[in-house]
Structure 1
Amino acid sequence: MQPARSDRLGRTQEFLKQIVYGGNDGIVTTFAVVAGFAGARAEGVAQIGAVAVLVFGLANLFADAISMGLGEFLSGRAQKDLYAGQRDRLMENLRRRPAVMRDRLTRHLRLRGMSPTDAEAASAILSRTPELMSELLLHYDAGLGHPDDEDPAVNGVFTFTAFVAFGVIPLVPYLLRPADQATFALSVCATFVALTALGLLRWNATGLGLARSVGETVLVGGVCAVVAYAIGAAVGG
């Protein structure tokens, strides 16, 4: 009996893509609002204060979180539909042209290091199980993985949750103090902490280098933050 995914992988590892994708976008989305207001120099913008940052920030946060969650759900459903359609066509080819399909799988196996004899033998054995052979050919031909272990609804929930959980962090200083340069500096620090935490989560899940996991996450988020601030300064200045 095949173990459940949660037995084979921790929850963080299982949904790492959704957590990193949603978390990074959430941080950047809300900091873009903060940086836009801080970068603007128009008198009207400056007088609006922390309430405007919170209203616009939270509105963007939840609107984009819902959009991201639903987008993850729809893309997962589309992936399942694509896989099912491609698999049906491939199964038909396996029934009508078994020798041609065995030769195709043999070529793939040889390209991956098998000797010609072993590749032909493996293809002959696999051809007795068309479902497994179709999975391999879909993976080798089109890069499609079996989607049965993926639940689009759960993936969407994880994307939404990560987006909100990480995205609210840059707004926390504006919940505690009036909007001024010191509050913006605290928001910058909070954003850096959030990106670092996301990088550490990625490092813990993947086991890759600490510097790479954290550095890449902070760098990508930091570039987006600088662009947001620059646009705010250009438009409001």
Structure 2
Amino acid sequence: MADILTSPASPDRMVDARRGSGLAQRLNWLRAGVLGANDGIVSTAAVVVGVAGATTLTGPIVTAGAAAVVGGAISMALGEYVSVSSQRDSERNLVEIERQALAADPHRELLDLARSYEARGISPATARRVAEELTARDPLDAQLRAKHNLDLDDVVSPWHAALASAVAFTIGAVLPMLAILLPPEPARVPVTFAVTLGALALTGTVASWIGGGSKPRAAARVVLGGGLALAATFLIGNLLGTTGLV
């Protein structure tokens, strides 16, 4: 273990680290895409099923569904943009703090870096050597990785995150829209229920595969939640339709 820690970082090892970092980022994007699609499926299906419970006319269903898709996609994109922008601002602030600290007192930062490795159970001599070698290669990167677990290559763009979220939501929303519009009127709601719950089972399974959890449990959670949402909106729409309130 000590030999690994104290040996100079080889180009191959550096490439492997970058690849691992890139893989983690891609998995995060995939997870966000799956969750965005899941939201698109549930929210759009709930709207169109609720309207279908109140009326059999295609016009109101299409109007409500289209509004749900557009409004939901914009909302998801805006939320993701704000969230990632805040994260990026925080990361940039940490980078600037470490850059100023290195410029003001590089020796003290080297000692702090060595102490951070000592705190992880590495001997003082080895920790000092590791800190020196990493600092010699890239002092700012060494400080950010050790103190904040931050990789400059993993700082995401809020615009990319917003676009990915909106696209994933829209793709998910297409399924319930097609399910409610393509079948004949008597089969609209049952088909939409079946398609929606099947799609949710798939997204739950994929999300569990990404996270390494139990696939049946994850699928059951999202299917149960989606089923409750569809049932609630359909019953409310049906109640409003039969009472003549809409």
TM superposition score normalised by structure 2? 0.71
Give the aligned residue type for 1:157.
L
Q: Which residue in 2 is equivalent to 1:43?
A: none
Pair 1:124-2:132 in alignment: yes
Measure how far apart 1:136 and its partner are: 1.4
The aligned amino acid for 1:60 is A
- Which residue in 1 is equivalent to 2:215? 210
**Which sections of structure 1, spanning at least 5 residues, go unmatched?**
40-45
Pair 1:185 & 2:185 matched: no
- 1:158 corresponds to: 164
Aligned to 1:146: 152
Q: Which ranges of structure 2 fall in alignment gaps of 5 or more residues?
A: 1-10
User: Which residue identity is paired with 2:39?
Assistant: D
Residue-by-residue CA offset, 1:153-206 (whole Å, 9 max, x unaligned): 3333222221111112122232124555x4222211111111122234335555
CA–CA distance in structure 2, aligned partners of residues 173 and 225 of structure 1: 13
Runs of 4+ with deviation above 4 angstroms: 1-5, 8-12, 203-209, 222-237
- Is the alpha carbon distance of 1:47 and 1:228 closer, same or farther for their aligned partners in structure 2, counting shifts above 3 Å? closer
Check conservation: 2:98, 2:144, Cα contact below 8 A.
no
SS at match of 2:143: helix
Output the aligned Cα RMSD. 3.7
Percent of matched pairs sharing the same residue: 29
Note if contact 1:12-1:205 (Cα within 8 Å) is conserved in structure 2: no
Q: Secondary structure at the match of 1:30?
A: helix
Q: Give the C-alpha shift of residue 112 in structure 1.
A: 3.5
The size of the alignment, in residue pairs, is 227
Q: In 2, are the aligned partners of 1:23 and 1:165 still within 8 Å (CA)?
A: yes
Q: Distance in 1 between matches of 2:34 and 2:145?
A: 28
Residues 102, 140 of structure 2: 8 Å contact kept:
no
1:8-27 superposed matches below 5 A: 9=23, 13=27, 15-27=29-41
- In structure 1, the partner of 2:50 is 36
Residue 144 of structure 2: aligned partner:
135
Aligned equivalents of 1:227 and 1:125: distance in 2? Answer: 61
Larger RCO: 1 or 2 (CA < 8 Å, sep 6+): 1
Q: CA deviation at 1:62?
A: 1.6
**Does the Cα contact within 8 Å between 1:203 and 1:210 map onto a contact in 2?**
yes
Rg larger in 1 or in 2? 2
Distance in 2 (alpha carbons) for counterparts of 1:35 and 1:115? 63
Q: Matched residues in 2 for 1:66 and 1:169: separation?
A: 18
Task: Name the TM-score, length of structure 1 as normaliser.
Answer: 0.73
